[in-house]
C-alpha cells in the first residue's frame, strides 16, 4: 500500500530542495527587472514614434506613460452639431444658433467626422464653476479681493491625447472648419435679445463664431472658436483687430509704432498704464472675452453633464485659452497669439500659491499650444515696425503662452524663414502637422516675461485686487 523510497531516491529529493529554493529566490529577485523590461517594451510599441517624448513626460506627466502602457486607448468620433454666433461691436446683444443636420453637413449627405483619442490628466480649478457663479465673480468690482475666498479642487479629467498625431490633426481640422460660413442663413435661431426691425444688416461680419462638435453619446463636446480673419478688410477683420490690439498689446497699442491701430486711451504716462481702464475695456460687453463667456453659458445649458474640450486657431485659440483658464477646462490651440498677458489683465482667478500677474507660471492648467517656429504671430515676434502685422495695424506685443507650448521647429527642419503666410490654419495642417511623423514635446516656459518696460501706475489698483501680488 505504501510506496517505498530507496536511500538513493531520498538523497536525490533532498538535493533538489536547495535547487528549487534557490531558483525561486532567483526568480523573485529578477521579477522586478522582467516587469520593468516588459513595461518599457509595452510603452515603446504603444507609443511608437512618440518614444522621444518619454524623458519629458517623466518630469511633466508621468501618469501619461502609465496610461499609454497599460490602458487601452479610448476613441471618440465627433460630428458638427451646432454653430453659435455672438455679436460684438455693433450688435453686442445678438446671439444666434444654427443646428446642423446630416443632410446639411456635407454635399454628399455624409456628416464630416473627426475621430480622436483621449487620455486622463489632472487639472486645478474652482470647485464651483457654474456659469452664474463665474459671471457673478467677474462682475464684482475690479479692486475687490477674491483670491482668499475661492475654493479650489484638483480633479482627474479626460482630455484629448496630445501625444496622438491623428487626434492633434482632428482638432486642427475642427479649427479650420470654424472658418466655414453657414450657407443656409434661414435656419439661424435667435437665443439672445436679437435686433429691432431692419437692424440686422451685416450681422455675420460682426462677432465671435464657434462650431460645436459632439460625440455619439453626447458625453463629450468640442468647442472650436474661429480665429482672426485672413482677408484684409473682409469678414470680421476690423473687429478682430480691435480685440487683438486690446488683448495683446502692452497698452491698447499706445506708445508703439505709428502703424498700430490705437483701441483705447489707458496710458497715463510714458510706459505707464491705468490697470482699471485696461480691465474695463477688456470686459466691455462688445468685446470677445465677455462674448465667449455668454456663448459658453448657452452651449453648456444644452449639454450640462458633458466633458468640454476647447480648441481654436490664432485669436480663436487665445480666446479659448482664456475661457479654459476661467472655467478650468482642457485647451488645445494652434498658432495662438501668446495670451498670458490678457489673462493677467483680465484678472482671471489664479490658483492658490500662484503669481496672479504671471499666468505663464500657473501649473495644472491643461493648456497645450501647438505652433511652429516660422510663424511670427505664434512666436511673439510679429511686432517690428516693418513686420507684416505692424504694417496691417496689429500690435502683437505679447510673447508668453500659458500652460505648455508644443513647437514644431520648421526653421531648423525645413529651412523656413518667418513669414505671416505660415500662420494660416490650412498651411499648418498640410505643411506642418501632416508632414511630421511625430508631434512635438509640450513644455512650459516659466521664465517668459511680457511688457517688462510697462508699469501699472503706482501699482495700488492691482495690489488692492491681488494682496499677495509679487513685485
The residues that are catalytic are 314
Measure CA 253 to chain center: 25
Close Cβ partners of 76 (under 8 Å, ≥ 6 residues apart): 115, 116, 118, 215, 216, 220
Residues present in the chain in total: 471
Q: Count the Cβ atoms, other than its own, within 10 Å of residue 431.
A: 18
Q: Give the CA distances from residue 183 to residues 100, 104, 175, 180, 373, in Å, rounded to whole numbers and listed in that order.
A: 11, 9, 18, 9, 35
CB 443 within 8 Å of CB 404? yes
C-alpha cell at 388: 507684416
Beta strands at 404-408 and 442-443: parallel, antiparallel or unpaired = antiparallel
Beta strands at 220-225 and 307-313: parallel, antiparallel or unpaired = parallel
Amino acid at each position: 500500500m505504501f510506496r517505498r523510497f530507496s536511500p538513493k531516491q531520498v538523497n536525490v529529493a533532498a538535493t533538489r530542495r536547495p535547487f528549487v529554493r534557490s531558483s525561486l529566490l532567483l526568480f523573485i529577485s529578477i521579477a522586478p527587472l522582467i516587469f520593468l523590461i516588459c513595461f518599457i517594451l509595452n510603452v515603446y510599441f504603444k507609443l511608437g514614434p512618440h518614444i522621444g517624448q518619454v524623458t519629458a513626460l517623466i518630469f511633466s506627466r508621468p501618469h501619461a506613460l502609465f496610461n499609454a502602457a497599460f490602458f487601452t486607448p479610448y476613441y471618440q468620433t465627433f460630428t458638427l452639431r451646432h454653430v453659435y454666433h455672438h455679436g460684438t461691436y455693433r450688435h453686442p446683444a445678438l446671439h444666434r444658433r444654427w443646428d446642423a443636420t446630416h443632410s446639411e453637413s456635407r454635399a454628399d449627405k455624409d456628416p464630416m467626422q473627426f475621430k480622436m483619442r483621449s487620455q486622463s490628466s489632472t487639472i486645478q480649478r474652482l470647485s464651483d464653476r457654474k456659469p452664474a457663479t463665474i459671471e457673478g465673480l467677474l462682475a464684482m468690482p475690479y479692486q475687490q479681493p477674491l483670491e482668499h475666498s475661492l475654493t479650489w479642487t484638483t480633479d482627474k479629467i479626460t482630455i484629448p491625447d496630445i501625444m496622438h498625431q491623428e487626434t492633434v490633426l482632428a482638432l486642427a481640422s475642427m479649427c479650420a472648419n470654424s472658418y466655414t460660413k453657414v450657407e443656409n442663413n434661414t435656419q439661424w435661431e435667435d437665443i439672445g435679445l436679437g435686433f429691432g426691425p431692419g437692424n440686422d444688416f451685416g450681422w455675420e461680419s460682426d462677432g465671435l463664431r464657434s462650431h460645436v462638435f459632439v460625440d455619439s453619446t453626447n458625453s463629450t463636446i468640442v468647442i472650436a472658436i474661429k480665429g482672426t480673419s485672413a482677408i484684409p478688410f473682409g469678414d470680421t477683420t476690423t473687429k478682430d483687430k480691435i480685440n487683438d490690439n486690446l488683448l495683446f498689446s502692452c497698452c491698447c497699442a499706445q506708445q508703439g509704432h505709428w502703424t498700430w491701430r490705437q483701441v483705447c486711451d489707458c496710458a497715463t504716462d510714458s510706459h505707464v498704464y491705468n490697470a482699471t481702464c485696461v480691465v474695463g475695456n477688456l470686459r466691455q460687453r462688445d468685446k470677445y472675452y465677455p462674448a465667449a463667456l455668454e456663448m459658453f453659458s448657452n452651449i453648456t445649458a444644452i449639454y450640462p453633464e458633458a466633458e468640454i474640450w476647447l480648441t481654436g486657431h490664432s485669436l480663436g485659440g487665445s480666446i479659448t485659452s482664456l475661457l479654459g483658464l476661467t472655467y478650468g477646462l482642457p485647451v488645445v490651440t494652434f498658432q495662438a497669439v501668446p495670451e498670458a498677458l490678457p489673462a493677467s489683465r483680465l484678472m482671471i482667478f489664479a490658483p492658490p500659491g500662484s503669481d496672479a500677474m504671471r499666468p505663464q507660471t500657473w501649473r495644472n492648467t491643461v493648456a497645450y499650444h501647438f505652433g511652429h517656429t516660422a510663424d511670427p504671430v505664434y512666436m511673439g515676434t510679429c511686432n517690428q515696425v516693418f513686420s507684416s502685422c505692424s504694417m496691417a495695424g496689429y500690435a502683437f506685443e505679447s510673447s508668453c503662452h500659458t500652460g505648455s507650448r508644443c513647437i514644431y521647429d520648421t526653421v531648423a527642419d525645413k529651412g523656413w524663414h518667418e513669414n505671416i503666410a505660415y500662420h494660416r490654419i490650412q498651411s499648418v495642417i498640410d505643411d506642418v502637422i501632416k508632414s511630421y511623423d511625430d508631434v512635438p514635446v509640450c513644455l512650459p516656459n516659466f521664465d517668459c516675461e511680457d511688457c517688462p518696460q510697462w508699469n501699472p501706475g503706482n501699482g495700488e489698483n492691482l495690489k488692492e485686487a491681488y494682496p499677495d501680488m509679487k513685485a
